[in-house]
Amino acid sequence: MYDRILIFNSAFPGDIVLTTPLVRAVYEHFPGASLAFCTTPAGARLLGGLSYLDALIIYDKHGRDRGVRGMLRTAWKLRKEHFELVFSVHRSLRTAILLSLAGIPQRVGFKESAGERLYSLRVPRADWLHETERNLSLLEPFGVDISQLSKQPVLPVTAEEANHVFGQLGLGPPQGSGPLVIVAPGSVWGTKMWLAERFAELIDLLAGVFSARVIMVGNALDRPQADSVLSACKSLVVDLVGMTDLRELCALLRKADLVVTGDSAPMHIAWAFDVPTVAIFGATTPELGFAPLSQLCRVVEVRGLECRPCSAHGPRYCRLGHFRCMRDITVDMVLEACKDLLQAGRTESEPGSKRA
């Protein structure tokens, strides 16, 4: 029925990861169709080589494609591809205008989108569903029962690529008997970051109790938080903050025995690779629909605070000044979650070798 299909999402990297179940479902529901994904340069780096996709189209909305001219140029680029159907996960007015200008006859988006009238099919975005399920619901007008679909993200980084990245970064295969623990302490949102001194204490305990080899990851913007953690650490930590791109981050996370992070992209990437994850939630809550639907994830949070969640993403600063959503999370609470996952172990292999 449709020969050329587009999926559009130009949001944060974590949101791109949570769109991949939709990619897989579209591929399976429209067999034989050519499937493309329009996304940011970071999104394209994440998805390059994903077998379900025939093409990646870059929309560099904060770079060379910023502003009205960039949007028009991208719309013209999409128009020339003669797409017949597009699924838009992104809900901005700019996206709705861009896809309308691209001349794609069948445009599927959310009713809650800005510019929702520019979509030919509009689907309710149910607050009570997980984000992956909300994205998959865009297929409901085509008779798809989303309850039967996998919600787990899928990323294209292979075991061979992960080994290669480890070698390139001078890490080699994980050494010693202890688990490989990757810690991602940063976030673009201040209220999603656990206290630096508690991250440091946790790292010291993991190194002492489990002989863990700890690698710290993040982008360049996470440098202040990372420096605060490292300055309080007594243990040796391999500091790769600001030294890897998203593809290399995926490779590192694929090799981990445990990931400790906040409500951020590493949490979603770890889920894609079935890596045990401790996710520390502060201003946001799992009920917003972003915590992994995985038995290998332990969410650590303070329940019963009337101020949670204070926004969809979490503001940069606590508006009430007490920051109890993170301050009330103790090192013992997070350590217990780590112990639960590490002691369960992966009995079929040595630490780090399952994705070696």
What is the pLDDT, as a whole number, of residue 346?
46
Q: What is the per-residue burial (b if ≥16 Cβ within 10 Å, else e) of 132-154? A: bbbbbbbbeeeebebeebebbbb
Q: How many domains does the chain have?
A: 2
Cα–Cα distances in angstroms (integers) from residue 111 to residues 91, 122, 126, 174, in the given order: 9, 5, 10, 48
- Tokens read off for 204: 């010291």
- Tokens read off for 46: 């994440």
Asked whether residue 154 is domain-assigned, the answer is no
192 and 336 co-located in one domain: yes
85 and 185 co-located in one domain: no
Question: Domain ends where: 107, 125, 148?
Answer: 148
123 and 52 co-located in one domain: yes
Asked whether residue 352 is domain-assigned, the answer is no
Question: Domain ends where: 118, 148, 178?
Answer: 148
- Tokens read off for 220: 């360049």
- pTM value? 0.93
What is the pLDDT, as a whole number, of residue 1?
85
Asked whether residue 9 is domain-assigned, the answer is yes
140 and 225 co-located in one domain: no
DSSP sequence for 161-221? HHHHHHHHTT--SPPSSS-EEEEE---SSGGGPPPHHHHHHHHHHHHHHH--EEEE---GG
Asked whether residue 153 is domain-assigned, the answer is no
* CA 278/CA 202 separation, integer angstroms: 12
245 and 301 co-located in one domain: yes
* CA 200/CA 237 separation, integer angstroms: 10
What is the pLDDT, as a whole number, of residue 311?
84
Distant-in-sequence, close-in-space partners of 136: CB < 8 Å, separation ≥ 6:
21, 22, 25, 144, 146, 149, 151
Question: Going residue by residue through the chain (356 aa), what tens digit of pLDDT does each one get?
Answer: 899 999 999 999 999 999 999 999 999 999 999 999 999 999 999 999 999 999 999 999 999 999 999 999 999 999 999 999 999 999 999 999 999 999 999 999 999 999 999 999 999 999 999 999 999 999 999 999 999 999 999 999 999 999 999 888 888 544 546 899 999 999 988 899 999 999 999 999 999 999 999 999 999 999 999 999 999 999 999 999 999 999 999 999 999 999 999 999 999 999 999 999 999 999 999 999 999 999 999 999 999 999 999 988 878 889 999 999 999 999 999 999 999 999 886 433 443 434 44
Asked whether residue 349 is domain-assigned, the answer is no
Asked whether residue 354 is domain-assigned, the answer is no
3-class SS at 298? strand
Identity of the amino acid at 312: A
307 and 208 co-located in one domain: yes
205 and 331 co-located in one domain: yes
40 and 128 co-located in one domain: yes
* CA 333/CA 353 separation, integer angstroms: 28
Single out the residue of 234, 253, 223 nearest to residue 13, CA to CA: 253
Asked whether residue 130 is domain-assigned, the answer is yes
- Tokens read off for 22: 């939709």
Asked whether residue 353 is domain-assigned, the answer is no
Question: Domain ends where: 148, 172, 189?
Answer: 148
245 and 141 co-located in one domain: no
70 and 166 co-located in one domain: no
118 and 143 co-located in one domain: yes
194 and 144 co-located in one domain: no
* CA 168/CA 267 separation, integer angstroms: 24
CATH code, domain carrying 219: 3.40.50.2000
Provide the domain limits for residue 242.
159-344
Single out the residue of 285, 291, 279, 249 nearest to residue 341, CA to CA: 279
